[in-house]
Amino acid sequence: MQNEIAIESFNNGFNCAQSVVAAFAPEFGISRELSLKLATGLGAGVNYQGNTCGAVTGAYIILGLRFGVDKPHDTKAKNKYRELADRFTEEFLKHYDSVNCRNLLQADVSDPAALQKLREANVFNDFCPKLVKRASLILEQMLKEKID
């Protein structure tokens, strides 16, 4: 269900990270509006730098809301979060060869000319929703599991 919300958000003009975060954050007491603002800078591989895909960084945020660390020296919790984030990444990599936006899109989104070519080729409308959906489906599954 959240994957449908995430895709709808993406199709309505929000970036990958915003779409994933906004689909799940209300379950953790964070409004849709605030979640959209929090994830604004993570689109296109963190502020159009082509680094980690926004759908992935959005998922890491949601995993943090559920399993994150709120005590600075809680090594057990830090290790558990890292294990879960790594597991998310492994699942994502079963479907795509990278979590890096530049690699996924096969273009440098930080270059205005390359970004324009991606837009003209409709990549953001054809390919990116698949990334949002995959990240959301993995998250849905992980959040359903009883993880201690």
Q: Which two tokens stand for residue 94?
A: 């079963």
C-alpha Rg value of the chain to the nearest Å: 15
Separation between Cα atoms, residue 101 and residue 141, nearest integer Å: 23
User: pTM here?
Assistant: 0.94
pLDDT of residue 3: 85
Q: What is the pLDDT along the chain (148 residues), one digit of tens a residue?
A: 898 999 999 999 999 999 999 999 999 999 999 999 999 999 999 999 999 999 999 999 999 999 999 999 999 999 999 999 999 999 999 999 999 999 999 999 999 999 999 999 999 999 999 999 999 999 999 999 877 6
pLDDT of residue 75: 95
Q: List residues bridging with 52 in a β-sheet.
A: 100
Cα separations (Å) of 100 from 63, 79, 83?
A: 19, 23, 19
pLDDT of residue 134: 98
pLDDT of residue 146: 74
Separation between Cα atoms, residue 69 and residue 23, nearest integer Å: 22
Total residues belonging to the chain: 148
Q: Which residues, other chains included, contact 146 with Cβ-Cβ below 8 Å and sequence gap of 6+?
A: none
pLDDT of residue 1: 84
**124-93-137 Cα angle (round to 5):** 70
Residue among 147, 145, 148, 143 nearest 24 (CA): 143
Q: With contact defined as beta carbons under 8 Å apart, do 67 and 84 qualify? A: yes
Give the sign of the dihedral formed by CA 113, CA 116, CA 95, CA 23.
Answer: positive
